[in-house]
Amino acid sequence: MSYARDPAAAEIAPPLSIQRTAPVPPGERAANVKRLLANIQAAKQHFAPDFQRMRWAMDFAAGLQLPDQRADEPCYEYVVNLTLRHLHRRTSILYAKNPTASCRRKPRLDYRVWDGSQATLQNAMQLAQSPDPAQRVFAQEILEDYQQGYSRRQALDRVARSLELLFERFMTEPVPPVKIMMKQLVRRVLTCGVGYAKLGYQRILAPRPDVSPRYDDLATQLAVIERLRANLTDQAAVQYCEHEAEQLRVALAALQREPEAVLREGPTLEFPQSTSIIPDPATRYLKGWVGTAWVAEQFDLRASQVAEIYQVDLTSHPPRDFGELDAARVEASVAGPADAQRDPIVRVYQYYELATRTLYTVAEGWPDYLEEPRPPDVHVEQFFPYYVLSFNDIEHEKRLFPPSDVELLRHVQEEYNRVRESLRQHRIANRPLYVSPTGAFDQKDRVNLTEYSAHDVVSLNALKEGQAAAELLQPVQKVPIDPAAYEVESLFADMLRITGMQEANIGGVAGATATEASIAESSRLSAVASEADDMDDFLTRIARDFGQVCLREMSAEQVRRIAGPGAVWPEQSRAEYVEELDLVIEAGSSGRPDRDRALRNFERAAPFLLQIPGLNVEALSRYAVRLLDDRIPIDDFIAPGAPSVVAVNQQMRPLPADPAADPAAQGPEGAGNLPRAPRPPQAPRPAFDASGNEVPGG
């Protein structure tokens, strides 16, 4: 998120040297690379049924719900994709709509001498003027302790506000924004059962294999230019570079037309595919990576992309067969056609090992590291920069990945399609059918009976004068359609029991009473509230580590460039700030907030709050306006020290001609102090006893 002028906009550096021949690494390096690849292959084999189930769920949600159905062939059977409707509805309820970060000071005892009581503080102020030296020293210790603790809290609050502004920019600046990708993440979790977010740190001129959203800068463009120049200066690669000279010319021209181009640096958030993350088979629980020794991420890249990122040429590697399960994934993950011989697909892995706290980068078929082992881009408490989101968590000794909503709805969806297709076939079979004796009609009569328009008069040679047509042509009696045999309401009831959704959330309600619908909706809201808590916890883990990464990596100059010149950022002792500040997601901010309930609570509390001495009215007004509409820029309407509109109106009010008639000059009772006109005499009213009976003469 920090910005720097592009040094390559004015002058392009000499091309990097790309390694084009496979090295012969020392024995221990080659053995370690083989160990890493062997661990990855064993884990992929172990989780192959889970990854196959995820890919099946993607196809099923896309509409491939019939046996042997193919995406490239038309489907002639009746399919109603209730699963996709459920995913859209569920996503709209659960995805992070407006995640708001709040940076708080962690609870701690900041005062060594002062006990936190205002009475003690006031007493110390009085004792500071005491003639007794011992009392003055004691009072001075309390006052100094209070001042130091208060100053530190103020500094922490300013740093916390700077962190909140950084997070807000972090959520909106990448293209596409993080909020949009969060919606896709929820859809992925509902489809595959599990989804991941990856926290990273993009540094200037540091291309990476990630294809998820990142800052829109020149790092990728410069990497392409360097690879093209290296190819044109290498005699071994010239024969494959007929078109790359033109690519280089166009890229350089585009770069020169951008004098204001910048390079960016800052935290990033990627969202890998569910089948791209390969955990250690010893993992006991995905959330928090319990029992995990290593995690690998898989990338399917073109050889040209590997050369741009790692300066290693793998074009001489023959294109490998990724297998039937991975074929569709490879085609979907690598965009654009390419010559398989000149630019083959390479499988690259990033391997995070907890024991050595090291990131390894290896590729299948390459005997050495693609880059030297190094610490990960970000330092987080759990070490692995991946955060897991899942909703249907289970406890199973042999199954790590939870089932998805698609998997839970499979039988309901297949039975619904079967019922509707059977009804469709029954309707087709019940079309009118007529029979006649053999030889009753000649060829011309059969043509006249089958090929006619509405209201036509048909002439039949076989029909004698006065003979009824029913004697030669009789309708076939077929089995009538029984609606009970094709009812689907029970399937919607099963869907409610499985996913918490009810028929009213998908379409119309058939035969449900108001009480039943209310009970079903209460059950659904309870399930949604639990999943919303999962989303808040997921975002809070990301926000907390985001704050720690910013405090460790970003400079004060970078922060002020983003958050404003008034931002406060520690230059030294950053570890102390990491320990004392906690960036969390406000509860409920990732979903639809219950604004009406919050407003009702504020209306109840406001009359009592206004009576508290020392109340910060400005902060209270900010909170009230935010409840009404958080898009209102309240800072634009507040001028510090300016009187209220009511006070200004009172000052501008003209005075009456008679000063004695001015309510402001008549004491606290105002106009109530004026003499009142005498009331006219009233007629006597009847008196009543305790029982309500009128007393005679009362």
Residue 686 contacts residue 693 (beta carbons within 8 Å): no
CB atoms within 10 A of CB 135: 15
Give the Cα separation of 561 and 551 in Å (integer): 15
Phi-psi region of 98 (alpha: psi -120 to 50; beta: other; left: phi over 0): beta
Rounded to whole angstroms, what are the CA distances from 286 to 41, 359, 387, 480?
19, 20, 9, 54
Q: Is 24 exposed, middle or buried (0-12, 13-18, 19+ CB in 10 A)?
A: exposed
Residue 10's pLDDT is 39
User: Predicted confidence band at 419 (pLDDT cuts at 50, 70, 90)?
Assistant: very high
Lowest mean pLDDT, pick from 427-431, 495-499, 528-532: 528-532
Phi-psi region of 99 (alpha: psi -120 to 50; beta: other; left: phi over 0): beta
Q: Which two tokens stand for residue 30?
A: 């080659």
Q: Tell me the pLDDT tens digit for each residue of 349-378.
A: 999 999 999 999 999 888 889 989 999 988
**Helix and strand counts by DSSP (H, E) for the chain:** 21, 15
Q: CA angle at residue 453 from 447 to 456, to 5 degrees?
A: 90
pLDDT attached to residue 407: 93
pLDDT (tens digit per residue) in 557-613:
888 888 888 888 888 777 877 888 878 877 655 554 556 667 778 888 888 887 887
Residue range 168-208, pLDDT digits in tens: 888 777 667 787 888 899 999 999 999 999 998 877 545 55
56/328 Cα distance (integer angstroms)? 11
pLDDT at 290: 92
pLDDT grade for 120, boundaries at 50, 70 and 90: confident
- Residue 440 and residue 509: Cα distance in Å, rounded? 53
For 329-334, what is the mean pLDDT? 51
Q: CB-based contacts of 80: which residues, under 8 Å, 6+ apart?
A: 416, 417, 420
Q: Which amino acid is it at 452?
A: Y
- Each residue's pLDDT tens digit, 268-283: 888 999 999 999 999 9
Q: What is the pLDDT of residues 17-47, one digit of tens each?
A: 666 666 777 888 999 999 999 999 999 999 9
pLDDT at 473 over 50: yes
Sign of CA dihedral 14, 18, 23, 26: positive
pLDDT value of residue 22: 67
Name residue, tokens 């890493």.
36
